[in-house]
Structure 1
Amino acid sequence: MLRLQLGPADLCRVRFADRLHPVGTALLAGQWLRDPTVAAMAPALAERAVAAEVAGDAQPATAILRHLLPDRGRLPDFVTPFEGLESVEAGLEAIRATPLRRVRAEVTDAYADTAGTLLRRRFAAADPEVLDLFGGAVRAWFDAVLAPHWPDLVSTHRQQVTRASQRLALHGLAGLLGSLHPAIRWREPVLEVRTWWGGEVEGTGHGLVLLPSPLAGTRPRVLVEPENPILVVYPVPMPRRAAPAGGESLGRLLGATRALVLRRLADEGGLSTTVLSRAVGISLSSASEHATALREAGLVTSERDGGAVRHHVTPLGAGLLGVGPEQACSEA
């Protein structure tokens, strides 16, 4: 049991993470989906993870991640950083920026009960070549397994934040903290969390960030770093809606991320470049590039609205997605 002693400065700064962390979510999912019992809760994702393990371009990536990270339990904290929420690339940049001393200490601790291999020893030594190999594996695994489901995962996170915000408004902070998850209990001024490690931890004075995630695993995850808010990632139910029909074929045609951009614009319509980047989990510059490519292909139109540029799916783009042309016309 982990007991978080929260002071007034922490309790005055309780907030929700505004989005899922692409890299952190991928690494938690990669570990979580190895357990057949909990993988049954996310059959579509589990099926993609198995497919990535046995065949396709992501097979080497899966093997690397399985070799370098523990099968269960606590991951090295630096692989789930606070920074890098904007995209997979931003998350990997935050990982690469981790001080070498910290990488060595956390990986060595994670390997305490694991047989040593040359690759693991090089990872524990923060070998730049192995860190780059690790980053490439994360990117490939995300694209193969999570990318087709990312809009649904993002939508689930938003829905959970909305519901929790309503509980806060109706029942106050104690009501919120006491209802997050069965493994989390609020005993003022202590937040008790049944996670993968235990002890007594003082608040940092920088607040508490709550992150509901459908891929947190079977227990909440807690990240405590000096000069940062305490991060509590807690499990929530998987989204019920499956990945869109035809998503894989469209991904092969356009690329997984570009297909997701087109799908999100069809689902919501009229999104600015900034909102689109958040909805898909990519950087602002990447969202702009994908929107430009789709516009040049006649699948998207863009119009300036004050200081923002808003994007809409065209009838051609709607037809490619299987959306009714009348819907596309009304959105555009």
Structure 2
Amino acid sequence: MIPASGYFPDFLTPENSRPGGIESIVEDVAGCHRNVLRDQLDLLGRGRGSAWLERLYEADPEARADLRHLLRDYQRIALAPHWNAIRNSVEADRAMRTRALLDSGIHGLLHSYRPLMRWTPPVLQVRYAVEQTLHLGGRGLLLVPSHFCQGTANSLADPALPPVLVYPAGYDRTVAPVTVRALGRLMGTTRASILIAAGTATTSGELSRRVGVSAATVSHHLSALRAAGLLSTLHQGELVLHTRTSTGSALVNAAHPSGS
């Protein structure tokens, strides 16, 4: 169902607004309405020598059950062992975009996606694998950072579906594996103060002013925090921003007097 390039069915990436985590997503995919399933498998070029796809096209209950098992197995094998890294990359990207939005509004947010996207009001031009024009017609656009996107963005093929643009999350690819030695370097009030101050995407200069130490001292402590997997460093044009990872936030929250 997912070829090496070109179209793949929209029902594989459902809008998930229900609680329930992975199980609700699995059910949204495998329980897709029969007409939607058929229309999108027709676009894929159903058959292609696959008896299983033919059975899925007919909404065969056993084929749907197979799809549920495949999705659960994939999540267990390919996603769960790397979930912290996946979550960290997405959360770091969101922190960076939030910073751009707070500093410069919606125009600053859209400009922060360069060079992947180019905002020339009222048009957002996006580096994309195929030629496609999507008219929002008053609808909002959901921007979704993805740990798995590489190089270009992706959107749903059906223009009638809610507009979604999935793009490569900007994340720190230089983070080293966490070691006991690295964690041992995290002692001291200065380092803790820097970690607390990095709750939103922040420059080294801002951290220096907030904590009241020199730029060289901040740089030294940032290196140790990155090595321990507690902080990510992102490059937004000429701007270098630092933000806590989910592990770093968990450490700060655990140390908070209220426990939250």
Give the TM-score of the pair, scaled to structure 2: 0.61
The answer to whether the aligner puts 1:268 opposite 2:201 as a matched pair is no
Letter in 2 for 1:141: Y
Count, aligned residues: 190
- Secondary structure of 2:133's aligned partner: strand
Letter in 2 for 1:92: V
The answer to whether the aligner puts 1:148 opposite 2:78 as a matched pair is no
| Structure 2 counterparts to residues 1-332 of structure 1, below 5 A | 68-83=1-16, 86-111=20-45, 115-203=48-136, 205-223=138-156, 229-237=162-170, 240=173, 241=175, 268=250
**C-alpha displacement of 1:181:** 4.7
CA distance, structure 1, for counterparts of residue 144 and residue 248 of structure 2: 27
Contact 1:70–1:111 at 8 Å: present in 2 too? Answer: no
CA distance, structure 2, for counterparts of residue 187 and residue 224 of structure 1: 23
For structure 2, which runs of at least 5 residues remain unmatched after alignment? 180-245
**C-alpha displacement of 1:79:** 0.7
Contact 1:212–1:235 at 8 Å: present in 2 too? Answer: yes
1:241-290 CA distances to partner (integer Å, 9 max, x unpaired)?
A: 46767xxxxxxxxxxxxxxxxxx889825979xxxxxxxxxxxxxxxxxx
RMSD of Structure 2 on Structure 1 (CA): 3.3
- Secondary structure of 1:69's aligned partner: coil
CA distance, structure 2, for counterparts of residue 182 and residue 75 of structure 1: 25
Letter in 1 for 2:144: L
Letter in 2 for 1:89: E
CA distance, structure 2, for counterparts of residue 154 and residue 146 of structure 1: 10
Larger Cα-atom Rg: 2
Give the TM-score of the pair, scaled to structure 1: 0.49
Letter in 1 for 2:123: V
CA distance, structure 2, for counterparts of residue 130 and residue 183 of structure 1: 38
Normalized per residue, which structure has more helix?
A: 1
CA distance, structure 2, for counterparts of residue 221 and residue 153 of structure 1: 18
Contact 2:92–2:170 at 8 Å: present in 1 too? Answer: no
CA distance, structure 2, for counterparts of residue 89 and residue 271 of structure 1: 28
Higher relative contact order (CA 8 A, sep 6+): 1
Letter in 2 for 1:119: W
For structure 1, which runs of at least 5 residues remain unmatched after alignment? 1-67, 246-263, 273-304, 312-332
Structure 2 vs 1, CA of residues 86 and 212 (structure 1 numbering), >3 Å: closer, same or farther?
farther
